[in-house]
Amino acid sequence: MSHTPDLSISVNTAVQVLHRGGVIAYPTEYCFGLGCDPRNRDAVERLLAIKRRKAEQGVILIAADLAQVGHYAELQYLKNKDLVLSTWPGPNTWLLPIKESVPDFIKGQHSSIAMRIPQHEFCLALLNEYGHPIVSTSANRSGEPEHLTASSVANDIGDECDLVIDLPVGGLKRASIIRDAVTGATIR
């Protein structure tokens, strides 16, 4: 595990780790997230093992823009696309119509894909530099409290991650809202 204090250095280091199939812990709007490349099954399975999360639950992905969202979601079928777009970037995760090509190790038992465009400087810089969505699940064991600092992550699961980004979280008081883009229902 290594720590990085500067945004540009942090982004470059994180991109290198993601390209190598690594798992990173990084700040988001509310808490630290665990991330990896969703195209890399081994990385996703390793992330789920660190998290102690069942694969059937699926994972949330974050993207830099609509083009990246389009790698996993069928946005053209959304009747309320303007509503979804009006909440991004921001702490709003949407369950979107999923592309048939999305593997089970990403979607779990779901028939939709959970995605958001975050409003956090590091996340957006990372996603733009990486050029592809990444997994975004809270960097804590399932059922345990979320981590709000890099040192808290490092003390708990840091030895299982390839990189802990030592930058601040965004200061929100709770995790992102999760809503179903088709039904409008609030999930969390």
pLDDT digits 0-9 by tens, 109-122: 999 999 999 999 99
CA distance 30 to 146: 9
pTM attached to this predicted model: 0.93
The answer to whether residue 43 is domain-embedded is yes
* 153-173 pLDDT, tens digit each: 999 999 999 999 999 999 888
Q: In what order do the strands lie in the sheet with 163-165?
A: 3-4, 163-165, 24-27, 32-35, 137-138
* Average predicted confidence (pLDDT) for the chain: 93
Q: What are phi and psi of 152, to 5 degrees?
A: -65, -45
Does residue 64 lie in a domain region? yes
Q: Answer whether residue 186 is part of any domain.
A: no
Q: Is residue 156 part of a domain?
A: yes
Mean pLDDT of 29-42: 97
Q: Residue 19's pLDDT is what?
A: 97
For residue range 93-109, list pLDDT tens digits in order: 999 999 999 999 999 99
How many domains does the chain divide into?
Answer: 1
In a domain, 44, yes or no: yes
Alpha helix (H) residue ranges in 33-109? 41-51, 66-69, 81-86, 104-107
CATH number of the domain that 10 lies in? Answer: 3.90.870.10
Whether pLDDT at 6 is above 90: no
Per DSSP, the three-state class of 90 is coil
Supply the range of the domain harboring residue 160: 3-180
Lookup: tokens for 69: 């969202």
In a domain, 167, yes or no: yes
Residue 5 is predicted with a pLDDT of 55
Q: Is 188 contained in some domain?
A: no
The answer to whether position 187 is within a domain reads: no
